[in-house]
Each structure stands twice: as structure tokens, then as C-alpha cells.
Amino acid sequence: AIQMTQSPSSLSASVGDRVSITCRASQDIRNDLGWYQQKPGKAPKLLIYAASSLQTGVPSRFSGSGSGTEFTLTISSLQPEDFATYYCLQDYNYPRTFGQGTKVEIK
């Protein structure tokens, strides 16, 4: 199975900060990667698919980049509602595998 490694595992940031989260795949997955946001007690929510396509309704401060084995989720200006855990997911092959998650906390 393809291993997805996110870094950092957690980070503390302030409102207005620019935040980046990295996801590395154990093999080339082209651009077959999505990003999900999860708040406590809630289901995950899709943010980005195909590495860089913004899901309809998601604020433009979220962006995704990368291809091959290294991918980045960037939040250009962190808002109070963005404090959550973020997961990457590869859909290159089976089994689909998620990164371990990155918790974004308030500084």
C-alpha cells in the first residue's frame, strides 16, 4: 500500500498567518491527491481534489499544489474557522490511503 506521510503532525498558528502542510507519497501518484478538513465530532469535508482543484464553495484562501510524490496544502490567511485537522488522501490505487493528519491549533 502507498504510504502517505504528512508534516508537521501539528502546528500552532495565529489568525492571519500563512500555513502550509506537506504530504509525501511513498511512490509517484501523479496528481491523484485530495485534501480534507475535519473538525471535532464532525465528518471530514473535501477542500481540494486532483492536487490543486478547489472544491466548489471552499474559500479561495485554500490552495493545493504538487505532483508525483510531494504535495502542499496552503492556507493563505488563517481564519478562526480553519482550526481543525487536515488529511491528505491518495486515490492513485487501492487501497486508498490517508495521511496521519495535521492538527492546526490556535497560538
Residues that bind other proteins (CB under 8 A): 1, 30-32, 34, 36, 38, 43-46, 49-50, 53, 55, 87, 89, 91, 94-101
Whether residue 102 contacts residue 12, with contact meaning beta carbons closer than 8 Å, is answered with: no
CA dist., res. 83 & res. 96, Å (int): 25
Whether residue 31 contacts residue 52, with contact meaning beta carbons closer than 8 Å, is answered with: yes
Nearer to other proteins, 78 or 85 (CB): 85
Cell of 30: 501523479
Cell of 73: 496544502
Nearer to other proteins, 19 or 85 (CB): 85
Closest CB 76 distance from other proteins, rounded Å: 22
Nearer to other proteins, 49 or 62 (CB): 49
**Residue 45, phi then psi, degrees to nearest 5:** -125, 135
Nearer to other proteins, 14 or 56 (CB): 56
User: What one-character DSSP code corresponds to residue 95?
Assistant: S
Closest CB 40 distance from other proteins, rounded Å: 10
